[in-house]
Each structure stands twice: as structure tokens, then as C-alpha cells.
Structure 1
């Protein structure tokens, strides 16, 4: 009896010891799980920020190519993107013509809108500073919300409406129209004409970029990403060739400009790659918010390298546009999180 009782006590002690050790082990596992979830999140944010820096540097290289026809960089980018996509399409045996003719028409629209958006923002750099060009271009997140409400019948919240108005107020500060801010029309006639052309090109680029995003949303997740990019590459190449031919400008750039144009195209493609990597590790809302920091990087790089200082109104306008874009992305992220919680609870 004593032996049995001693064995029972020993077993009880071992059970209590193991039960005491279990919480510590589970805590370690929970901590490791949290770290594993935190790493991809931080990595996604890092990729998004690095992508914004690369995209800003890409446009800065275009600005540094003084005297070059900047749209030639789109030809470099289209060729490099096409060469990147061909092995993927071949390996996965993707039909580039899509499942039906309606999808092909939508893909053609996406390629044309995306290519023209790139063309117009490149042309705007000949007339405006890098910071001003990107400030006007980043009106497109507000336009995406409007287009989605009108074309895709998505709900438009009061918050989104207020942020859209805030975006256009920021645009007014950036462009500084003379009928609001004053100024001698005769004294600044040459500057004003160039400024108007730049505003027109940048605004057209923002509208076309919003159209591109709306079309991509219309296509949905059922279409492989290579479908969208291959149409963008081919149509971009054709559109820029036609633009150079009609305008009578050389299709092949001068040797002194090739390096800057090549670096601009290379940085743009790598920037797109890091955006894709960020979206694989983080939600679209936060990534879109961080991508708007391209505007901040552009102003900083332009100040350091070119010595361009934005005006007070331009700085305030850029800040309003940036805050509006971030707020819209956060609003979508919060709504998505609430929906997911409701689904989980149900």
C-alpha cells in the first residue's frame, strides 16, 4: 500500500508539473505566432515604402533627362515589361485573349487607359515640377471612388464625399489659378501657358489612372495579372511610337539620354515589383496609403538634387491631397475589417 501510494503521489506530482509547464509552452507558441504574423506585416510596409521611393526616383530620372523626349522612357519600360511577362505566360500557358470577347474589350480599354496615363504624366514633367505633377496626379484615388459609385454602383459614404472635396481643395492650392490667387497675366504669360499645359496633362493622367483602376476592379480577381500587364505593355509601345511619329520627334533617343531613360524605366518596373510583393503580405488599403508617400519622396528628392522648393500654397495643397488619399485608404481598411469581424462572429 505504501509503495502504491508513493507511486500515485509521484504520478500526481508529474502531472501537476507538466500542467504547470503547459501554459509557458503555449505562451511561447503564441509569442512565436505573433512574431511570425508581425514580420510579414512589417515586411509588407517596408516593400510599399521602398516601392514609393523607387517610383519617385524613376520620375526624377526623367526630370534629369534634360532635352530628351521623355515619352521614350515608356518604350523602354514596355519592352522590359514584355520580356518579363513572356516567360510567365509561356510557363503557365495563359491565353492572352481572355475567356471571351467582352473581357478582351475591357482588357484593351485597360491597356489604353494605363498607357495614356503614363504618357500624359510623362509629358506633364516638361511643364511642371515633379512635386506639383505628382500632387495633381494623386487626385486619382478620389476619382476612383467617384467612378466606382457611378460605373460600378458602389456605395458612396459621406466620409468619402468630404474627402473628395478636400482633395479638390488641395488641387486648387497646388495649381494656384490666377483667377483665385491673383497675379499679373502679362508678366507671367509664358509661365502661365506652360503651367496650364502641365496641369492639363497631369489632370488627364489622373483621370485615366482612375479609369484604369476602375476597369481592373471590373475585371475582378478571376483574370491573371499578366493579362492586364501584357496589354498595357503592347499598347503602351504602340501609342508612344505613334505619338513620336506624329509629333515628328526621334523614336531612338540620343546616346547621352539613354542612361537616364533606361534607369527611369528600370526603377519603375522594380517599383511595380515591390508593390506586388507588398500586396502579397499586406492589405490593399495600408499599401495604397503608404504608396501616396511617393509624393513626399518626390518633393524631398527634387529639393535635394534639383534645389526646387515648393511654394507655401503648393506645400499645403500637397499635404491635403496626401491626407485625403491616406484617409480614404484607411476608411476602406476599417470597413473591410468590420465586415470580416461580423462574418467571423456569425
Structure 2
């Protein structure tokens, strides 16, 4: 009896820890976007370089302590790990690039449509079923996406000087959502057999090479001023903490519930940009952001309930077969 009470208490503590870690993940990523808004001259490449250098330095001792081999035994697993890191690096780079054109809240909202895109890609790539309710919530998500993007052929022309920025920012944000959803699908295909330190190690060197090549091609490879160095370093640190917190959250709680709490990044972004940047979104952007947030939450909860029912049915079947 005492052992059962202890297990229940441990389970509740794990759930609480997982909830707060997921909440800290959302806040860390929103804070990283806010810090990047204060950068004067540096761009997405500099943020990625700073983050990857810091992550590389921090992850090497963990990799050595855990005695983990950086490369896996099978060729397919290595390819999946590299693809997961490459899509993750590209999505982060696109996210920071989009922040140069759109407000923090809009970029965060468009990026969080990845919840709907993950289900869409899972249906196509992994042959997973999609219910009518999930399809309806996906449609609502894309309605919110249209409200945030505010295309001129629906809402008419806005300020002429900002039309190009809106289009560029929207395309970059949506591209980040697509890349992030592909990364999640690859991670689901990969499973939990690969230690997080291995993924973070490959992310670090791939991100470093990616950003150096990108900045060299664009001709923007330079050392930023001291102020920008401080800001991009802080933005890089928040990214590392976000990745660490989401790893801890996934160890304590189911992925579906983690995604639900992580969607609060939209709310954090709207609050931070209002408090520190003094920017209040337009009515259409605010409605679109809230539609994306609530549809993402309900979409994830629907999938979690569906998975729980499947697990319960499997347990009933296995128990019945064991009695026979």
C-alpha cells in the first residue's frame, strides 16, 4: 500500500515537473525572439553561430561523461539523426530571419501551425489516420494563418512600404513551421533510442557549418559590435535552455501534453512584445493568433485522447489474451 502511494506521488511530481519544464520551454523560445528584436546589425547567422558554439562547448563534457558514441550502429539511424538536426537548424534559422520582417507575435503564431502540419505530414509519410475533428481543427488553424498573413487580395492593400516585408516574413515563418513539422515527424520515426546529447552534438556542428556557409555566401560574415554580441549570445543561451527544458519535459510527461503547454509560446510572445516593444497586434492578427493557439491545443488534446484509447484497448486485449 505504501509502495503504491509512493508511485502515485512520484507520478504526480513528474507531471508537475514536466508541465513547468514545457512552460519554461515556451517562455525561453519567446524570450529568445524578444532578445533578437533588440539586435541592431547582426542577423540570423550570428545568432545560430553563437548558439551552436555555446552548445558545442556545453555538450562535449556530457557526451564524454555518458560515454556515448556520436554515430549510431545502423546507417538508417545516422541518416535520420542528421536529417532531424538539419531540419531543426534550418527551422531555427528561418525563424530568426522572419523576425527581421514581422512582429514577434505574428512569427510565433505562424510557426506554431506546425502542430497541424505534423498531423498532415504524419498522414502522408507515416500513414496515420486523421479524424473529421482533426481535419476541422486543421482548417481553423489555416484560417488563423490567413488572418495573421492578411493577404492583399482578401484584405486589400495595407501600407505600401510594408507589403514586401509582410510577404517575406510570412513565407519565412511558414517555411519554419514546415521544417519544424518535418523535424518532428523524423523524430517520431527515429523513436527514443538515441540519447539527447547525441542529437544536440550533431545540431551544434551542423548549425555552425550551415550558418558560416550562409553568411559567407551572403557576404555578411563579420564580427558584430559588443552590444549585438551580447544580445545574440543571450538569444543563443535561451535557445539552449529551451532545448534542454523540452528534453526534460518529454522525459517526465507525454509528448502530446508537452506540445499543448508549449503552444503557450504564442501568448508569451504577445505579452513580451506588448510589455517591452510597445507593439499591440492588429485585430486580425490577434484573432488569427488566438485561433491558431486554441486550435493547436484542441488538436493536440484530440490526438492524445485517441492515443490513450488505443493504449487502453491494447491493454484490455493483452490482458484478455493472457487469461486465455
What is the TM-score normalised by the length of structure 2? Answer: 0.92
Which residue does the alignment assign to 1:88?
A: 62
SS at match of 1:325: helix
Offset of 1:29 from its aligned partner?
A: 7.7
Which residue does the alignment assign to 1:15?
A: none
Which residue does the alignment assign to 2:309?
A: 338
Check whether the contact 2:49–2:208 (CA below 8 A) recurs between aligned residues: yes
Q: Does 1:110 align with 2:84?
A: yes
* Alignment partners' CA distance in 2, 1:215 and 1:278: 19
Deviations 1:285-311 (A, max 9, x none): 111100010110010010000000011
SS at match of 2:146: helix
SS at match of 2:222: coil
Check whether the contact 1:241–1:251 (CA below 8 A) recurs between aligned residues: no
Given the alignment, which residue of 182, 205, 208 partners 1:234? 205
Given the alignment, which residue of 97, 102, 112 partners 1:123? 97
Which residue does the alignment assign to 1:143?
A: 117
Q: Which one is further off, 82-91 or 303-312?
A: 82-91
* Alignment partners' CA distance in 2, 1:210 and 1:49: 20
SS at match of 1:222: coil
* Alignment partners' CA distance in 2, 1:229 and 1:30: 36
Larger Rg computed on CA atoms: 1
Which residue does the alignment assign to 1:159?
A: 133
Q: Does 1:55 align with 2:32?
A: no
Which residue does the alignment assign to 1:325?
A: 296
Which residue does the alignment assign to 2:322?
A: none
Given the alignment, which residue of 216, 232, 237 partners 1:266? 237
Q: Does 1:66 align with 2:40?
A: yes
Q: Would the alpha carbon gap of residues 99 and 34 (structure 1) be closer, same or farther in structure 2, given more than 3 Å must change?
A: closer
Which residue does the alignment assign to 1:286?
A: 257
Which residue does the alignment assign to 1:5?
A: none
Q: Would the alpha carbon gap of residues 274 and 155 (structure 1) be closer, same or farther in structure 2, given more than 3 Å must change?
A: same
* Alignment partners' CA distance in 2, 1:120 and 1:78: 15
Which residue does the alignment assign to 1:192?
A: 163
Q: Which one is further off, 64-73 or 149-158?
A: 64-73
Check whether the contact 1:245–1:251 (CA below 8 A) recurs between aligned residues: no
Check whether the contact 2:41–2:224 (CA below 8 A) recurs between aligned residues: no
Give the number of equivalent residue pairs.
317
Offset of 1:32 from its aligned partner?
A: 6.1
* Alignment partners' CA distance in 1, 2:20 and 2:192: 25
Offset of 1:155 from its aligned partner?
A: 1.6
Check whether the contact 1:45–1:282 (CA below 8 A) recurs between aligned residues: yes
Check whether the contact 1:69–1:253 (CA below 8 A) recurs between aligned residues: no
* Alignment partners' CA distance in 1, 2:72 and 2:13: 37
Given the alignment, which residue of 164, 173, 183 partners 2:157? 183
- Give RMSD over aligned pairs: 1.8
Offset of 1:318 from its aligned partner?
A: 0.5
Given the alignment, which residue of 195, 209, 216 partners 2:187? 216
Q: Does 1:254 align with 2:225?
A: yes
Q: Which runs of 5+ in 2 are unaligned?
A: 320-324
Deviations 1:68-112 (A, max 9, x none): 224311111111212222223223332322212232222222222
